[in-house]
Structure 1
Amino acid sequence: MSLAEKKTRTTVIEPSRKLRFLNFKELNDYWELLLYLTIRDIKVKYKQTIFGLLWVVFQPILLMLIFSLVIASVPNIQQAITCPYKLFAFVGLIPWQLFAKIIESTSNCLVAEAGLVNKIYFPRILMPASACLSALFDFFIGCIILALMLLYYRQAPSWTIVFLPLFVILMTISAMGIGFWLSALNTEYRDVRCLVPFLMQFWFFASPVFYPSSIIPEQYRLIIALNPMSGVIEGIRWTLFSYGSAPGWEFYVSLSVSFVTFITGIYWFRWREKSFADHLGN
């Protein structure tokens, strides 16, 4: 047997007798592919652009300036916040940008890579996972700009900043769960990619990105809490400069919704996985 034959790896694909959550051993075998897909996504995104990574912060900075001119003068908002409004809005826009990018990129990742999915075997869940990691890279760049803004406004983070990773993880799994649902649906129903931009626009205004949730009437608090981004954005503001009170029951509602969405999203993705090639080949 030649050396080439010894190194040849054969993968036998058999239908599973039961629906599994995740095959961690298989994912570990393909971690290099995940890394490659992530780096490729980042390079393609900024290839042949003049401003490069600056595009990551152009949108939130522009929206921050617009909100500062239009929203900041509203009396109820000025009374409800304890920091400069530009900083308040930017802290809401950076996590929202991550949330929206994960959903938008994961929802279309399988359709965009239909040729790869149809020709090569690999765990299909790597596609939305790489899209998520690419969005997290943009989030990291945005956090650097946020740190510079905190220095400019002389806003020293509170000790509660130690809880910041918790809210970032919560936001990520929530967006990933939604992305799993939408990416699987998009392979069969291409209307999904038309629906997502409309959904994200509505979701943006339903989240406390540019306004504090404290101005929402009490009777609507439960509805707002069902939005996972409500608890995340308010939680991040609390971790950075102790804005508002510590997360209450609304946060735990958002936490529950996020985990349910993530777990059911993975099971849904895994259940529909066997039909991806058929739908993408049409």
Structure 2
Amino acid sequence: MLRSLWQYRYFMLSSIRGELKGRFARSYLGGFWFILHPLAQSLIFSIVLAEVMQARIPNMDNSAAYPIYLLSGMAAWGLFAEILNRSMTIFIEQAPALKKIAFPRLCLPVIVWGGAIINHLLLLLAIAIIFIFFGHYPGRAWIYVPVGIVLISALAFGLGVFLGILNVFARDVGQIMTVILQLWFWLTPIVYLKAVMPQKVQAYINLNPMTGLVAIYQDALLLNQAPNIATLIPSVIVAGIAVAASFILFRRASPELVDAL
């Protein structure tokens, strides 16, 4: 499978470029919508929680600390959610192409992954500019952000491909995951700090593989600190299992995939 992906690398690159151009065709702002949507969502959370509800980061005097914390977590979650959601539906969306054109089917989620990474890099650039306006300049710890990108995208890709194949054979999977992702978001310390939650809830939060991955962004972008390796070990294991399971399932289900579509 990996050899076939390498042989079709130019096809995937051109598809990523075409998808990015076509997604906002006839749009005056074009690619800026990749950035504006997540920034607007983060801004709404910041206004409601930081200004209205007076949410603050303990032991930090910077008034922009909570918006920075929130933007960091939302950026990490946005990458995860985009890859996972689109990978779950990509086989169904591209059913006509799969029936008419011969190419490795695994190219489709890889194209999704590539487009999401480009969107994410543009968002990080916009976030860095916003941080400068806050008076919070990017530090050396930003070098750890690529580690977060790799681990988050690996987890999302593995789960997305695995669930995307199941979704072809049972469309209820996509509907169920919509609800699960909403619960998953609120079980991840993005709009709140893990320390403020009750001990019973913290036990579930610690089992969440996204907790450690989101913390990479929050530690690097807000605190200018390296990630805690110990907290990343469960996330790395889950991401590795997800990728391996997706490849195994894809290999077994691939011959019947087009027929099921």
Give the structure-2-normalised TM-score: 0.89
1:133 maps to which residue? 114
Paired residues in the alignment total: 258
SS at match of 1:209: coil
Is the partner of 1:123 in helix, strand or coil?
coil
Q: Where does residue 65 of structure 1 map in the other structure?
A: 43
Q: Distance in 2 between matches of 1:273 and 1:247?
A: 39
User: Which of 18, 22, 28 is 1:44 aligned to?
Assistant: 22
In the alignment, which residue of structure 2 is the partner of 1:93? 74
RMSD value over aligned CA atoms? 2.2
AA in 1 matched with 2:220: T
2:185 aligned partner: 204
The two structures have a TM-score, normalised by structure 1, of: 0.83
Using the TM superposition, name which of 81-90 and 92-101 deviates more. 81-90
Of 78, 91, 105, which aligns to 2:57?
Answer: 78
Query: SS in structure 2 opposite 1:156?
Result: coil
**In 2 relative to 1, CA 71–111 (structure 1 residues): closer, same or farther, beyond 3 Å?**
same
Aligned-residue offset at 1:29: 1.2
Post-superposition offset of 1:194:
2.5
* SS of alignment partner, residue 50 of structure 2: coil
Structure 1: unaligned runs, 5 residues or longer: 1-22
- Letter of the 2:4 partner, please give it: E
Q: Say yes or no: does 1:165 pair with 2:137.
A: no
Q: Is the 8 A contact 2:210 2:235 kept in 1?
A: yes
SS of residue matched to 1:67: helix
Structure 2's unaligned 5+ residue stretches are none
For 1:153, the equivalent position in structure 2 comes to 134
Moved more, 58-67 or 161-170: 58-67
How many Å separate the matches in 1 of 2:7 and 2:229?
41
Between the aligned partners of 1:90 and 1:107, the Cα distance in structure 2 is 25
In the aligned structure 2, how far is the partner of 1:212 from the partner of 1:243? Answer: 17
1:163 deviates by: 1.7
Q: Structure 1 residues 25, 209: CA separation in 2 closer, same or farther (over 3 Å shift)? A: same
Change (3 A) 1:82 1:217: farther
Partners in 2 of 1:267 and 1:49 — Cα distance? 40
Q: How does 1:1-282 map to 2 (within 5 A)?
A: 23-72=1-50, 77-79=56-58, 83=62, 84=64, 85-242=66-223, 246-247=227-228, 249-280=230-261
Aligned-residue sequence identity (percent) comes to 23
- Mapped contact 1:93–1:209 kept (Cα < 8 A): yes
Q: Which moved more, 1:241-250 or 1:166-175?
A: 241-250
Contact 1:161 1:239 in 2 (8 A): yes
Q: Kindly tell me: are residues 216 and 270 of structure 1, through their superposed partners in 2, closer, same or farther at Cα, counting changes over 3 Å?
A: farther
Deviations 1:67-124 (A, max 9, x none): 2233226577432666512222111111211111111111111111111112222111
